[in-house]
Structure 1
């Protein structure tokens, strides 16, 4: 609470009279101390991610009492002792428990010999309700002050809005030519025009997108992207560094994404084949970025042109959503759709748009589902030959009906993937591309499911590396616990 001032990493269910927290992502938040038992009071919590922090002590057994918990990610901390028996049991009946990267944690056995080290009472040191209340109060006061400075204009809520705005610079035409060495190195081309590699005075590499005179999208979309990216910030959205509107030169300057776009990385012409766990991580990153646009911005934002060529990868394979020229924000938070002229890309466009002329958040979810199928199969959304045009879903469905997961997954992976995570991934993708929008999941649910996919794959890799259990046994346990089942064709 309140709904209009949501924090990144917090997902709530507003369908009840009192909003309830359903997901907390506090990964890489520099948390220290022990895990507070207060988390067990969040009775509707489905996912808790405390990975990549510096948490110590034991895992509270009280977390097993959360009835809806599906994902508990404690990877990369300094936890010790044994895993509570109640959590072990819950992990066999639907809970995905990720504990890698805790050297002092006994993942097998009871650690009885070291029990004396861990009898200290749990101390609440992550966050308390009182501290949260104070932070929310301060945030509200800061927001109200910010609104006064904007003279009542509507702005999109963003955790780092002020910081990002201060970074956005106005560049002259001469500066843009200097940055790009007079447009020496072309690195791409989109609807606006060509994209060039640049380097700022401090050595930072950037991508410079020019608006060409023959651009199909035009100045309105160019302005839309510049305005939108100056107001929002998320680690899974490409950041805008500056812009140029000088004479006949219009350009947007972005952070440079060294690995290029996902479509090119999936191409059979690319000699570096994306591993299965890399594809899962890319999907999870992109889902988090879309979740921020849909549920973290007030009013929500529809991307309207989500596709593999608009997913960019950094040097360390961190995925970010790009190209916001066609994006639209709702007029207010209660709107359900936008009536719009044709937008998007053939093959990714929501089938309901052709019938109603309306786009909504679930339209982006459809596009995201097609993107997931591309990641899984390596196929393009639409394959055009001299005598036919084939959509990727038409290629997948017959193989899905035969239950042949090996025939669906990109053959270049040579079978190096877990069948459990592959079936789960396909199930997510098929749920996203159902013809009826209301049947598609909210992207926040997709984020949770994709994290479960990552957990499945990590568990198999961990088991194989330690030779504790075989991947076949693990996949059988997933099947028996109901964690996945082959989805039906849509």
Structure 2
């Protein structure tokens, strides 16, 4: 509505409507034509006015929200021939940096159904095109990842009316669904207790549909195209006063799989049974309530909600970069048409004049280049540029700056920043004037010299490769002689570990840098092929969560890899219940010192106290980011093939880094979906689908990571033939039949964790170890979900949530059993 008009209350609902003028900087006001036969609902007062966007490629609403709160966003779109052109538009809608949906107003009335924003957003604003927004209860519509996009919301009553505000304080829209052929309505005037997380209106929960016929079941089916994840919320209440011998008991089946046996709705109390799936409904989503054999009454249901899960893999731009750039923008009073929303993403709508890094979706993009050529800038160079720590190129030419180049900017030049300042007069700070000389000529000279050197190196490399098959291992990493390796390891004095490749020794480089030295055993079955694979991969990848290669030795029969030293060993050594490593360390100490007095001093290098839940989540999240980089950031993508807890290494700050790349394989790009290869991996971690088909995909790594995540949660061995189920995945599935995580979570945590984050991590792990690769998430989804878990645990640590926080989300994946926990 026009910005100069005051807010008003809509009569039929009591909702307050106000102008959008304070939420967006672009757009023009329009009004629907009442005589237009396609106006429909647009002729009602809330829809008479609209905002349209004839200019710019992106137009963003900026709605302030409270961090850590769920929100319902309802956006409504209508044409109404406001421009007399009778040309209905089509456009894309984004939630922040992530694609939401495409709006196509070829229909008479276009209404984007509801979307629920998850409770873990780190920013304090949402950028959308058009919307209404209101908060929801935190434990209601929780998601493993992304947001929920409403498919439909039904209540089961023979009433042809929509229930919404003020009956529903959250302004959800409930549509009646009633088939007289298979249902009979029951209702009550007795108030029903609705104080669960979903806060259902009395107008909904006081009614229910029951299956018609004494022995019949009740079912509904619907089609949902292109939905990888589906969430269903079933709302029940027993609203009849039951006689002493009466019982209402039924099973709940989802796509023919029983997810809840012998369910009985609580008397005059609302109860919600969620179903969360990570598999597609092939042709039809199918829900069935089947009457129990001992039940005297048929199944009943009050309402049902169905959602598709909208993935939000793309992180927003680093908040420090955004803050710095906005300060620069304010300093020069700059404003461009498309400078709305996130500066770097979506990539296709990046702000004019910027270039950003955006390799891995789960890692926030960084501003790496600014082009302010001929922007009409004057005055001094903005000091906030120094806070763009990843800036690689800055073009300030064609402007009218005064003053000297700030020292901080000169320091950035020394560290590699390309600064372009041509034909610009600037003072030296003492009233004198001097010309700021561009460094383009210098850069060109350096580039020419570099090119010549590269050609020389390439010539000799090519010449050598014709004689030596090992010469493909080339890098700027240091090549060591075997004699140097002997010196750095003090004649291979201290052993750190041993694997299929050979023995890993402790070393010192130049007397001050600790390293880990992996020496190929002469009897190694892996041999030179794995040695070369690992070197080749580590020479071309770099990520904070991948172990760095310091150098290598390739001298005759001596094959050695030299890595950065990870002083806290591997993940497995720090999970409780694992005493093998402590025994190894103790034996090492007694061998060297033969005395008890030095044990505490020497073993203090490794923490023997079990990791906290917060640290476990952080290690899992960092490992997932490293693996995500291999799958997405590498060109071509890489599959690790040997993800296990002993290959997740921890540095002095317990930062996780993925190691041991000897089995890694490149993954095809384009139309191919897998690599056919011989089976390789570790028992217990090996993807059963890969083992069965020899088809290797990135989902094989996801399965192995899921096993590691189960280790992190339980501290159980991956394979143990003495327990009920030998494999950890099957064991967890078996234990879940009791619906309680306390008999699954590592007891050494003594309950010091946010139960909601544990449930989320457990559900994620189970989805990762799905027997079918199509049922597993990708590593971007895994990384995002673990960040959610970590934020939830951090919030608890900061006192934002109760330690025993509950959530009403239910597992839908089983391992050899059809039972799942009733609810959290």
- Judge same fold: TM > 0.5, yes or no: yes
3-state SS of 2:560 partner: strand
More helix by share: 1
3-state SS of 1:205 partner: strand
CA distance in 2, matches of 1:421, 1:67: 19
3-state SS of 2:553 partner: strand
3-state SS of 1:188 partner: strand
CA separation of 1:334 and 1:199: change in aligned 2, threshold 3 A = farther
CA separation of 1:439 and 1:277: change in aligned 2, threshold 3 A = same
CA distance in 1, matches of 2:635, 2:136: 36
CA distance in 1, matches of 2:672, 2:721: 37
CA distance in 2, matches of 1:220, 1:469: 52
> Structure 2 matches for 1:177-326, cutoff 5 A?
177-201=486-510, 203-268=512-577, 269=579, 271-326=608-663
1:129 equivalenced with 2:461 (yes/no): no
CA separation of 1:231 and 1:87: change in aligned 2, threshold 3 A = farther
1:430 equivalenced with 2:652 (yes/no): no
1:410 equivalenced with 2:742 (yes/no): no
- Give the superposition deviation at 1:209: 0.2
**Equivalent position of 1:43 in the other structure:** 95
C-alpha RMSD over aligned residues: 3.7
Q: Would the aligned equivalents of 1:44 and 1:68 in 2 still touch at CA under 8 Å?
A: no
Identify unmatched segments of 5+ residues in structure 2. 1-57, 59-92, 100-113, 126-131, 147-318, 320-332, 345-349, 357-367, 372-391, 394-446, 459-473, 583-607, 816-824
State the aligned residue count: 375
CA distance in 1, matches of 2:134, 2:790: 19
CA separation of 1:438 and 1:126: change in aligned 2, threshold 3 A = closer
**Equivalent position of 2:793 in the other structure:** 457
TM-score, length basis structure 2? 0.42
Q: Would the aligned equivalents of 2:504 and 2:519 in 1 still touch at CA under 8 Å?
A: yes
- Give the superposition deviation at 1:69: 6.2
3-state SS of 1:284 partner: helix
Choose 437-446 or 263-272, whichever is displaced more.
263-272
CA distance in 1, matches of 2:137, 2:725: 45
Larger radius of gyration: 2
Q: Would the aligned equivalents of 1:173 and 1:244 in 2 still touch at CA under 8 Å?
A: yes
CA distance in 2, matches of 1:88, 1:454: 26
**Equivalent position of 1:336 in the other structure:** 673
For 1:361, which of 675, 698, 705 is the aligned residue? 698
Choose 348-357 or 329-338, whichever is displaced more.
329-338
CA separation of 1:132 and 1:42: change in aligned 2, threshold 3 A = farther
User: Which structure ranks higher in relative contact order (CA pairs < 8 Å, sequence separation ≥ 6)?
Assistant: 1
**Equivalent position of 1:89 in the other structure:** 135
Identify unmatched segments of 5+ residues in structure 1. 1-19, 21-40, 48-64, 80-85, 103-120, 152-164
1:439 equivalenced with 2:742 (yes/no): no
Q: Would the aligned equivalents of 1:423 and 1:487 in 2 still touch at CA under 8 Å?
A: no
Choose 293-302 or 376-385, whichever is displaced more.
376-385
CA separation of 1:91 and 1:167: change in aligned 2, threshold 3 A = farther
TM-score, length basis structure 1? 0.68
CA separation of 1:434 and 1:394: change in aligned 2, threshold 3 A = same
CA separation of 1:88 and 1:371: change in aligned 2, threshold 3 A = farther
3-state SS of 2:490 partner: coil
Q: Would the aligned equivalents of 1:42 and 1:66 in 2 still touch at CA under 8 Å?
A: no
CA distance in 2, matches of 1:219, 1:233: 23
Q: Would the aligned equivalents of 2:120 and 2:792 in 1 still touch at CA under 8 Å?
A: no
